[in-house]
């Protein structure tokens, strides 16, 4: 722990719980669900935006974290465009730091709430066939999903063009496979997870937007390759007409809004542990 932090250690007068949300990147689902979760647990919350804080004046991540801690935060939730930023912060503050998505690295609470959602529809993760289609390369969600689902025995198939789903993605966890064929990915799948495609990320790539849609967009016809009771997931935000059809986003098989809703109880569980609250 940094010595200067020890000098600034706050002495709480009351038993109030304080949670700070340090969001260096835009978010709807993660930020709101963490905030609601903290409030349900009785904590006071504050949201720190880089453009409305001293970050804009050049304050470093560590100094911002130490400042928030000195103000009494007992948990810091951070979203940051740089991979590893939560880890850096956690080395300098003496309170739990929760990763709400860092760069292209991980989004662990999203994977937890997705596993929770799957288990509301399937008896077990063990042996489930999970197809993840879209931009695997840039996706922190994909990385966290692969680690968690593989650990619990799911068979994960990643699908996309080589620029967005490189062969090396198969090394993320044992048993993970990569395919370029969406029909092969979806065949017999219990869970179809679609990831956002950002048009700007296709700029300069061999595959263009029209070609991506033609080859990889998840459509009602393609979803028929999956099991009849397969569920369709998407961590959001959804770009209708890009990675999946708008019709499919609203289809009966879609559990997208259930994923969003599950963000609150799952993040309550994470915060309860971090704040040492017995629920």
Q: Which residues bind ligand CP (CB under 6 A)?
A: 27-30, 101, 107, 110, 235-237
* Token digits of residue 272: 């309860």
Closest CB to ligand CP among 80 and 155? Answer: 80
Shortest Å, Cβ 6 to ligand CP? 34
Sign of the C-alpha dihedral computed for residues 260, 266, 272 and 274 taken in this order: negative
Least distance in Å: CB of 223 to ligand CP?
A: 21
Closest to ligand CP by CB, 100 vs 223, is 100
Q: How far is the CB of 138 from ligand CP (least distance, A)?
A: 13
Nearer to ligand CP, 27 or 258 (CB): 27
Q: How far apart are CA 65 and CA 76, in angstroms?
A: 8
- Residue closer to ligand CP by CB (options 102, 190) is 102
Q: Least distance from C-beta 47 to ligand CP, angstroms? A: 13
């Amino acid at each position: 722990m940094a010595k200067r932090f020890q000098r600034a250690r706050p002495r709480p007068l009351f038993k109030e719980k304080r949670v700070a949300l340090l969001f260096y990147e835009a978010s709807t689902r993660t930020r709101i669900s963490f905030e609601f979760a903290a409030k349900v647990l009785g904590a006071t919350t504050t949201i720190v935006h880089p453009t409305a804080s001293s970050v804009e004046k050049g304050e470093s991540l560590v100094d911002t974290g130490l400042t928030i801690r000195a103000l009494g935060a007992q948990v810091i939730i951070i979203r940051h465009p740089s991979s590893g930023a939560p880890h850096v912060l956690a080395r300098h503050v003496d309170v739990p730091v929760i990763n709400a998505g860092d760069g292209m690295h991980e989004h662990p609470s999203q994977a937890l709430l997705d596993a929770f959602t799957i288990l509301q529809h399937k008896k077990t993760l063990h042996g489930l066939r999970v197809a993840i289609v879209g931009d695997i390369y840039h996706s922190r969600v994909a990385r966290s999903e692969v680690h968690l689902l593989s650990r619990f025995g799911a068979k994960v198939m990643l699908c996309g063009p080589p620029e967005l789903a490189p062969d090396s993605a198969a090394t993320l966890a044992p048993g993970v496979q990569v395919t370029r064929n969406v029909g092969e990915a979806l065949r017999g799948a219990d869970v179809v997870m679609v990831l956002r495609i950002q048009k700007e990320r296709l700029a300069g790539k061999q595959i263009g937007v029209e070609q991506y849609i033609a080859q990889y967009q998840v459509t009602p016809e393609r979803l028929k390759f999956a099991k009849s009771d397969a569920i369709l997931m998407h961590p959001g935000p959804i770009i209708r007409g890009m990675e999946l059809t708008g019709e499919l986003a609203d289809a009966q098989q879609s559990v997208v809004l259930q994923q969003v809703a599950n963000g609150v109880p799952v993040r309550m569980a994470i915060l309860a542990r971090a704040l040492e609250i017995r629920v």
